[in-house]
Amino acid sequence: VTAGTARRTAALDALGDPTRRSVFERLGAGPLSVGDLARELPVSRPAVSQHLKVLKDAGLVVSRPVGTRRLYQLDPQGVAAVRAYFDRFWTDALAAFKEVAEQTKEES
Amino acid sequence: MTVQTDNPAGSATSVSKSVEVAVPVATAYRVFTEQTSTWWPAEHHLISGPGLDVRLEPHVGGRITDVTDDGQECVWGRVTAWEPPGLFAFAWLIGPDWGVPHPDAPASQVTVTFTPLDERRTRVDLVHSGLDAHGDGWEGLLQGVGGEGGWGRILEGYAAAAAAAG
């Protein structure tokens, strides 16, 4: 098992949890602190911290200090961020495709 | 939800999506490949100008190009499978900045299959794989699309249009 494979497996496991997926998706919109995330999600601050640790260990999330706070964001070097991006892109594109296709006259 | 994600966790380097459309398979294929500019998210063209259109050369090796009436052209894809009405695939050359791709840019792969459910309904399955080809430099993009004018806004617009359409 290569390091890359192990990391991918860790990323999949990390995103298998619905709460962690919620944390990950919110970070897709920009950096947030533990407090920000705890306010937006029905989980405690310690639970948010634990979820962030799993996401960091999986290589999906990085953190940096900003003043007295620590902000978490998707790993800009990580393919997970690319994937999250295209996930949103194709959701939108296919929804629009469906709309247009269904307004199109059928081929005779 | 209209667009289904087959496996939310999925592969770490690919995205899979499915959508069911209430048109025959030939129509679905034609709208996807020949009328791309009618549904492609407007914020994600590579160039801008009058009469912006997406031109596709319908054969393996054919180029997928953004073109405008004032003569701009930008190649952003290359057809790798052309088997109407069931299969369409292309190499995706666009980088993280949605800038004009370098000819040797690393590519990911988009594979689209069209399966007739009956004479009037088609399932479209899309897999965008090899996303690790676009590994670096996504920070600015993610922050851009996450902001006020980004994806949230686009999805809200779609949701409003869909709701209005009933």
Q: How far apart are CA B42 and CA B48, in angstroms?
A: 10
pTM > 0.95: no
Residue-level pLDDT at B148: 39
**A45 contacts A38 by C-beta, under 8 angstroms:** yes
Instruction: Say whether B17 and A94 touch across the interface (CB within 8 A).
Output: yes
In this predicted structure, the answer to whether residue A12 has a pLDDT above a threshold of 90 is no
Residue B143: list chain A partners with CB under 8 A: 30
Nearest residue on chain A to B153, alpha-carbon basis: A92
More reliable by pLDDT, B58 or B104: B58
Angle, vertex CA B96, rays to CA B93 and CA B98, nearest 5: 70
Token pair for A89: 């892109």
Provide the mean pLDDT of chain B.
75
Minimum-distance CB partner of A85 among B41, B142, B158: B142
H or E element that contains B5: strand B4-5
Contact B9 A92 (CB under 8 A): no
| pLDDT for res B43 | 63
Structure confidence at residue B166 (pLDDT): 37
What confidence score (pLDDT) does residue A10 get? Answer: 64
Percentage of chain B modeled with pLDDT above 70: 64
Q: Say what the pLDDT of residue A21 is.
A: 76
Residue A15, Cα to own-chain centre: how many angstroms? 8
For B14, name the nearest residue in chain A, comparing CA atoms only.
A83
8 Å CB contact of B3 and A102: no
Q: Which residue has the higher pLDDT, B124 or A15?
A: B124
Which residues have C-beta within 8 Å of that of residue B6, sequence separation ≥ 6? B16, B17, B18, B125
Q: What mean pLDDT is predicted for residues B1-6?
A: 60
pLDDT digits (tens, 9 = 90+) for B52-98: 889 999 999 999 998 989 888 888 899 999 999 999 999 988 765 55
Please tell me the predicted confidence (pLDDT) of residue A72.
94
- C-alpha to C-alpha distance for B64 and B78, rounded to whole angstroms: 6
* Chain B, window 74-113: residues with a beta carbon less than 8 angstroms from a chain A beta carbon: 96
Q: Amino acid letter at A43?
A: V
Higher pLDDT, A58 or B142: A58
pLDDT bucket at A9, cuts 50 / 70 / 90 = low
Percent of residues, chain B, with pLDDT higher than 90: 38
B71: closest CA of chain A, how far (Å): 26
Instruction: Give the mean pLDDT of B26-43.
Output: 88
Residue B38 sits at the chain A interface (C-beta within 8 Å): yes
Residue B163 near chain A (CB below 8 Å):
no
Contact B27 A28 (CB under 8 A): no
Q: Kindly state the average pLDDT of the residues A28-32.
A: 79
**pLDDT, mean of residues A51-57:** 91
pLDDT at A4 over 70: no
Q: Which of B109, B50, B116 is nearest to B86 (CA)?
A: B116
Mutate which: B18, B21, B124, vs A, most A CBs within 10 A: B21
- State the average pLDDT over residues B4-31: 79
- Candidate ranges B46-55, B114-123, B131-140; pick with highest mean pLDDT: B114-123
Q: Residue B58's pLDDT is what?
A: 96
pLDDT value of residue B99: 60
The residue among A39, A101, A3 whose CA lies nearest residue B124 is A101
Q: How confident is the model at residue B126 (pLDDT cuts 50, 70, 90)?
A: very high
